[in-house]
Chain A
């Protein structure tokens, strides 16, 4: 039995970050059921930072995170955790009032924004199907978060502070006795007076192991589709691009997927979106992509989606990648 001050269950960004914070106060053991950290929701995050859109409570949490992300502790990372990205919101006919309301809210929060037509928005992102959209809003201050650097930074700092990250350690039982929790796993047994449930989509299962039999945490699936970029395109400067109803969003990424391409294009569908519908939002962007590149270099019909797939495996138990439940058994104590 290995003894610690804190057992953190879950080695995604939630578990790694709270594990790091707790390692400043005592010995931490992070137990991760997968073979590596950040295997599920963490690797499928939109990974952007903006205080200028989303509900006010969200914005406040982002504001409270900004200082750490912009100036992490010494030795936390060798690369910037946040870099400029920009955000582009697109509205169809019938959605322009929603876009206008969003613009007004962003201005109220002090954001710098630019309202434009969908046609003019092509200068920010040339694959927008401008015939589908009527107007656009560009926000330059949205930033990318380097999720990998953030996750590895947390775990590196955790270890530096004497903590331990243990992969392949799915918690099989949690018992509480005489003020101490005992957790059993294939990688050994652990005990600590405090357990933090950071199990993401498995948060309720862990809570039930601990005897908390609530039923109101519902994990949702998020779907990501990964593409090769249109041939010859300089996608790294494209903004994070949303439709204002947030049925989809996409951004350039680097190094994701099994192909290890230097740049790829990542389409994310929000939770609750049916994974089988991923082609529908794709049509909002592919036509212009095809038009733009058809007459030029190599044609990229289908938005260059020769390599597309759902990251989640719908045939497995892992249909529950959850952007909802983080940190504590509840809905987004950590987000």
Chain B
């Protein structure tokens, strides 16, 4: 149900563009984007997290 925003977010990754303004506050920064432009946004977690993929091993 959050897909419309998530699509814009993913597209910004694919375009190597800035994070959409209304999604900046989610905590996605260059520091938590893995090579290949992968950033984990896990809104289902008990403590929602944003981070590099390798942080979730």
Contacts and interface: CB of A to CB of B under 8 A. Distances in A.
B and A form one assembly: yes
Given A14-B7, A331-B40, A64 B1 contact: no
Contacts of A60: 25-26
Given A60-B25, A214-B53, A328 B4 contact: no
Contacts of B5: 61-65, 68
B38 to A, nearest CB: 5
B6 A334 contact: yes
A198 B22 CA distance: 22
A69 B14 contact: no
A18 B43 contact: no
A329 B53 contact: yes
Interface string A1-41: 00000100000011001101110010000000000000000
Nearest to B5: A64
Interface in B1-55: 1-11, 13-15, 20, 22-23, 25-26, 34, 36-46, 48, 50, 53-54
B3 to A, nearest CB: 5
Contacts of B14: 6, 18, 22, 194, 196
B48 A18 contact: no
Contacts, number: 146
Contacts of B45: 55
Nearest to B7: A17
B47 to A, nearest CB: 8
Q: How large is the interface on B (under 10, 10 to 19, 20 to 34, 35 or more residues)?
A: 35 or more
Given A21-B7, A22-B11, A64-B23, A330 B1 contact: no
Given A17-B6, A18-B11, A62 B44 contact: no
A101 interface: no
A215 B10 CA distance: 21
A158 B36 CA distance: 24
Given A20-B7, A328-B13, 17 more contacts: A21-B7, A21-B10, A47-B1, A55-B43, A58-B48, A61-B5, A65-B3, A68-B5, A69-B4, A329-B36, A330-B41, A330-B56, A332-B41, A332-B43, A333-B41, A334-B3, A335-B6
Interface of B: 1-11, 13-15, 20, 22-23, 25-26, 34, 36-46, 48, 50, 53-54, 56-57
Interface of A: 6, 13-14, 17-18, 20-22, 25, 45-50, 54-58, 60-65, 68-69, 145, 150, 194, 196, 198, 210, 212, 214-216, 324, 326-335
